[in-house]
Amino acid sequence: MNRLFDNDWVGPALVCLVAVVGISILQPSFLSPFNILVLLSAIAVNMVIALGQLVIIAIGQMNLALGAFGGLVAICFVAVMELYGVPPVIALLIGLAIGTAAGAASGFVIARTGISAFIITLAGLQIFKGINLGITEAQPFYGVPQSVKDFGNHAIFGPIPWLIVPMIIASVGMWYLFNRLRIGRYILAVGGNRTAAELSGINITATIIWAHAISGLLAAIAGMMLVARLQIGQPTIGDDWLISSFAAPVIGGAVLAGGHVSVAGTFFGVVIIAIITQALVLFAIDPFVVQIVLGALILWAVGINRYREIRVAKLNEAR
Amino acid sequence: MTDVTADAMPARRQGSGLLRLLLSNEFGLAVLIAVAFGTFALTLPGFTSPFSLFTIGRQIGIDTMIGLAMMAVIVTGGLDLSVGAIGVCAAMVFGWLAQAMGVPLPIAVPMAILFGASLGFINGYAVVRSGVHSFIITLASMSIFFGIMIFLTKAQAFNQLPPEVTQFGKTRLFGMVSVLLVITLVVCVALSIFYRFTTLGRQMLAAGANPRAAELSGIRTGRVITACHMLTGALAALAGLMLTARTGAAVPSMAGHLGQDWLLPAFLAPVLGGTLLSGGRVSVIGTLLGAAFVTIMTSGLLLMRVGEFWILACLGLILLAAVLTDRLRQGVLRKRGLI
């Protein structure tokens, strides 16, 4: 029993279960097919965003530019379709390439100069957001093809939206990366103990660039998913990713110092945030309260993680 | 100029003093400012008009204050993402006191600053007690502070402030010096004295440079770090008030969503000015020069009709260029054995 509770995802999963049961008793429309569809669409997008931050947390850094990557990719994705008539599949590949390249570039600067990721990604945030606004002049692109709109708003069957598909691919991919692939192991090793990783022959520079490139790729996917869902190339896409991208992994038990992450935990973190956001809407509570709740959730999760760390340390001492 | 730079561990001074001065961050910035200002003054008509100088000075005053607020917490090796949220919250409290409650300004202003300091205290207390990095604590608190503020104000501005507030923001000395810039200069001098000559200021630098050593030499690091966060809160509140005086209203969106718009000026000025992100070293004059450089570049680029949307990208590039140059400078200094 105790060993079960040492899993990162069990606590958040229990919270999800209690929240779903509690809210659906108070407000039966919570479990209506339409509401589930909306909920799952929100979860799908936010999970990919959270994974984009998770891979950087794994390496012990942070990516403030995540939203700026996503926003730039989103408007480029629509712009090439609207202005040059590029088919959606090619536009998708262009978007993925831009996100990955932007991530790799910021990873390259961080790894080669050794300047803190915070400052580099803060600069990156302004640069990419600036390019975004420079291109769009804060006006949205409207020319989203019908197929893309359908992808973002139609269900596969019942209340399961198509948007779930990229989320599942990204989640399984990240799980596979961290648990089975060498580069994922390297990322965790560098995050856990950089010196030890370096001494055991891991190429630190390459690993950091990989992590940031993957982060950029995931931001690109999330940005384009949002285009499909909103049916419009909004320049403001990505502006509000910062808090939630950290909240979900932290609630899911990620250690911010790096070296330890949980994809399943992050998923339940995303679900908790989505449920709370939805519940506030259902109960007609001021949407601004979401901000307060999100902040409180981060503090609560940090407190729990801290408590577990202390408990583990005590157990180790007792042995 | 290096005199004004407060350093926890006085560097070995055997190197060539002149070269050290020439390679110092502050000197480099001063040269850059002179070059930028000279170029704009010669090529852009109207750049040196009294009104233009007044607006530039006003902007320098506000941006420096935001930078100083962040600098006060960077000293400890931490950071505070919630500066913008604190600044707006304090400005809204001021607006509520001055407009809705009719509290006289000489009382409302200190109360707003005190309110900022108490929000900073909450941050500091949470950081010290939890032992979690200030990044995540202040990420949470920026969301909470801003959320509560929007919830209480219903996103409405206080735009019927006493006329003295707007009047103050418009005041010019000698026809071109903003009174806001004067306030900032006074705070700069006070902070320089604080970090150099007072016990608490020295303790802040020591706790930032090496917390363990500071603890062993009898400094109560926890309290000192909390004090740093309070200072940050107070300075952020002051910046929020200055912005209110400039706008003539306390607006919830004046620092953008969650106060994020302040993050760039907050880090740009101290980092350009040579404050170490790892803590233990501050440069008040560097922060002032950093903010001045950014403001002059922004105004110049705007006058050149670069387009305000591209300015953001330019500022990001400036920040990137600044940290890269700093790396280069340190490399040169290290090679010559100056640090």
Question: Hey, are the CB atoms on B139 and A298 less than 8 Å from each other?
Answer: yes
Contact B36, B60 (CB under 8 A): no
Question: Hey, are the CB atoms on B136 and A294 less than 8 Å from each other?
Answer: no
Does residue A152 lie in a domain region?
yes
Give the CATH number for residue A51.
1.10.3470.10
Q: Which of B135, B137, B277 is the closest to A119 by Cβ?
A: B277
* Residue A127 touches partner B, C-beta closer than 8 Å: yes
Question: Hey, are the CB atoms on A130 and B309 less than 8 Å from each other?
Answer: yes
Question: Hey, are the CB atoms on A134 and B307 less than 8 Å from each other?
Answer: yes
Read off the pLDDT of each residue in B19-43 and give the average, rounded to a whole number: 82
Give the span between the Cα atoms of B160 and A310, in whole angstroms. Answer: 52
Annotate A229-273 with three-state secondary structure: HHCCECCCCCCCHHHHHHHHHHHCCCCCCCCCCCHHHHHHHHHHH
- pLDDT tens for residues A286-305? 777 888 888 888 888 888 77
* Å between B179 CA and nearest CA of chain A: 30
What single DSSP character describes residue B204?
Answer: H
- Chain B CA closest to residue A285: B151
CB-CB neighbors (< 8 A) of B130 in chain A: 302-303, 306
What single DSSP character describes residue A139?
Answer: P
Range of the domain at A199: 9-318
User: In CATH, which of 1.10.4040, 1.20.120, 3.30.70, 1.10.3470 is domain B2-7+31-332?
Assistant: 1.10.3470
Contact A141, A79 (CB under 8 A): yes
Is the dihedral angle over the CA atoms A243, A272, A296, A307 positive or is it negative? negative
Token couple for B15: 């190197």
Question: How many CA within 13 A on the CB side of residue B148?
Answer: 13
**pLDDT value of residue A3:** 60
Q: Spell out the domain ranges in chain B.
A: 2-7+31-332
Query: What letter represents residue B153's amino acid?
Result: T
Question: Hey, are the CB atoms on A291 and B311 less than 8 Å from each other?
Answer: no
* Residue B310 touches partner A, C-beta closer than 8 Å: yes
Mean pLDDT is highest, among A159-168, B175-184, B248-257, for A159-168
* Ramachandran bin of B46, using left for φ above 0, alpha for ψ from -120 to 50, beta for the remaining angles: left
Question: Hey, are the CB atoms on B147 and A306 less than 8 Å from each other?
Answer: no
With 80 as the cut, is the pLDDT of residue A80 above it?
yes
With 50 as the cut, is the pLDDT of residue B9 above it?
no
Question: Hey, are the CB atoms on A288 and B319 less than 8 Å from each other?
Answer: no
With 70 as the cut, is the pLDDT of residue B1 above it?
no
What single DSSP character describes residue B254?
Answer: T
Does residue A142 lie in a domain region?
yes
Question: Hey, are the CB atoms on A123 and B323 less than 8 Å from each other?
Answer: yes
* Å between B74 CA and nearest CA of chain A: 12
Read off the pLDDT of each residue in B269-277 and give the average, rounded to a whole number: 81
Question: Hey, are the CB atoms on A133 and B312 less than 8 Å from each other?
Answer: yes
With 70 as the cut, is the pLDDT of residue B338 above it?
no
Mean pLDDT, chain A, as a whole number?
A: 89
Query: What confidence category does residue B312 fall into, taking pLDDT thresholds of 50, 70 and 90?
Result: confident
* Å between B123 CA and nearest CA of chain A: 11
Question: Hey, are the CB atoms on A256 and B148 less than 8 Å from each other?
Answer: no
CB-CB neighbors (< 8 A) of A293 in chain B: 147
Residues 6+ apart with CB under 8 A from B47: B40, B41, B299, B300, B303
What single DSSP character describes residue B177?
Answer: E
* Residue B2 touches partner A, C-beta closer than 8 Å: no
CB-CB neighbors (< 8 A) of A290 in chain B: 147
* Residue B312 touches partner A, C-beta closer than 8 Å: yes
Chain B contacts in chain A segment 169-228 (CB below 8 A): none
**pLDDT value of residue A222:** 97
Could you please report the per-residue DSSP string of B1-42? Answer: -GGG-EESSPPP--S-HHHHHHHSHHHHHHHHHHHHHHHHHH
* Å between B320 CA and nearest CA of chain A: 6
Give the span between the Cα atoms of B285 and A141, in whole angstroms. Answer: 45
**pLDDT value of residue B11:** 46
CB-CB neighbors (< 8 A) of B317 in chain A: 123, 127
CB-CB neighbors (< 8 A) of A122 in chain B: 263-264, 267, 316, 319
B73 against B1, higher pLDDT? B73
**pLDDT value of residue B2:** 36
Residues present in chain A in total: 319
Give the span between the Cα atoms of A192 and A186, in whole angstroms. Answer: 10
Does residue A67 lie in a domain region?
yes
Could you please report the per-residue DSSP string of B75-133? Answer: TTT---TTHHHHHHHHHHHHHIIIIIS---HHHHHHHHHHHHHHHHHHHHHHHHHH---
* Residue B48 touches partner A, C-beta closer than 8 Å: no
CB-CB neighbors (< 8 A) of B135 in chain A: 62, 118, 256
**pLDDT value of residue B12:** 45
Question: Hey, are the CB atoms on B323 and A126 less than 8 Å from each other?
Answer: no
* Residue B305 touches partner A, C-beta closer than 8 Å: no
Q: Which of A124, A138, A294 is the closest to B143 by Cβ?
A: A294
Q: For chain B, count helices (H), then strands (E).
A: 14, 4
A7 against B51, higher pLDDT? B51
Read off the pLDDT of each residue in B130-159 and give the average, rounded to a whole number: 89
With 90 as the cut, is the pLDDT of residue B319 above it?
no
Query: What letter represents residue A205's amino acid?
Result: T
With 90 as the cut, is the pLDDT of residue B25 above it?
no
* Residue A115 touches partner B, C-beta closer than 8 Å: yes
- Chain B CA closest to residue A235: B309
**pLDDT value of residue A271:** 92
- Chain A CA closest to residue B131: A306
- pLDDT tens for residues A184-242? 999 999 998 888 999 999 999 999 999 999 999 999 999 999 999 999 999 999 988 98
Q: Which of A115, A127, A291 is the closest to B143 by Cβ?
A: A291
Compute φ and ψ for B190, nearest 5 degrees: -60, -45
**pLDDT value of residue B327:** 79
Contact B273, B266 (CB under 8 A): no
Query: What confidence category does residue B232 fall into, taking pLDDT thresholds of 50, 70 and 90?
Result: very high
With 90 as the cut, is the pLDDT of residue A46 above it?
yes
With 70 as the cut, is the pLDDT of residue B6 above it?
no
- pLDDT tens for residues A2-27? 565 567 778 788 888 888 888 888 88
At residue B162, the 3 state secondary structure works out as coil
Q: Which residues pair with B282 in a beta bridge?
A: B6
CB-CB neighbors (< 8 A) of B144 in chain A: 291-292, 295-296, 299
**pLDDT value of residue A129:** 92
Question: Hey, are the CB atoms on B264 and A122 less than 8 Å from each other?
Answer: yes
Token couple for A257: 């110092």
For A94-115, letters b (16+ CB in 10 Å) and e give: bbbebbbebbbbbbbbbbebeb
Query: What's the domain count of chain A?
Result: 1
Beta strands per DSSP E along A68-192: 155-157, 160-161
* Residue A280 touches partner B, C-beta closer than 8 Å: no
Compute φ and ψ for A12, nearest 5 degrees: -55, -35
**pLDDT value of residue A64:** 92
Residues 6+ apart with CB under 8 A from B321: none
At residue B154, the 3 state secondary structure works out as coil
CB-CB neighbors (< 8 A) of A286 in chain B: 151
- pLDDT tens for residues B92-115? 999 999 998 888 999 999 999 999
Question: Hey, are the CB atoms on B320 and A256 less than 8 Å from each other?
Answer: no
First to last CA, chain A: 20
Does residue A1 lie in a domain region?
no
- Chain A CA closest to residue B261: A126
Beta strands per DSSP E along B125-232: 172-173, 177-178
- Chain A CA closest to residue B78: A118
Compute φ and ψ for B181, nearest 5 degrees: -65, -40
With 80 as the cut, is the pLDDT of residue B336 above it?
no
